[in-house]
Structure 1
Amino acid sequence: MIKVNLDFMLLKKKMTVVELAEKVGITQANISILKNNRAKAIRFSTLEKICQVLECQPGDILEYTVDDE
């Protein structure tokens, strides 16, 4: 499973979900879906913009874990 760890980066940048959504150009609902690990996919262009805004690498917000299924 791929997890999206936006909480730490948002805290580090002292940024809210609303601010991130505005700067990235997607809805607050879509940022929340990512943040709560309910997204099935993410466009590279969206990931790139999130990384630009948060000044981070994709590996700073994406984490792979083995499913227990």
Structure 2
Amino acid sequence: MIKCHLSRLMGEKKLKIADVTRETGINRGTITRLYHETAERVELDVMNKLCEYFKCELGELFEYKSDQS
């Protein structure tokens, strides 16, 4: 399972979905699905924009967790 830490990153900076959407140009629905961890796919350009915006590595935004845990 892939975990998305967007909600944690946003919480640390006290950002709302609207803030990230406005400042990155990423579709609000995409940000919402990532925030609630309901996204089934993510485009590479979206991951790139989020990493640039949060000044983080991809591993800080997404994490692989074994389903066997």
Give the TM-score category using the shorter length.
Answer: 0.7 to 0.9
Total equivalences in the alignment: 68
Calculate the TM-score normalised by the size of structure 2: 0.84
Equivalent AA in structure 2 for residue 21 of structure 1: T
Q: Confirm or deny: 8 A CA contact 2:7 2:36 kept in the other structure.
A: no
Unaligned runs of 5+ in 1: none
Calculate the TM-score normalised by the size of structure 1: 0.84
Unaligned runs of 5+ in 2: none
The alignment-based identity, stated in percent, is: 26
Counterpart of 1:21 in structure 2 is 21
Q: Secondary structure at the match of 1:3?
A: strand
Is 1:62 the counterpart of 2:62? The answer is yes
Q: Secondary structure at the match of 1:37?
A: coil
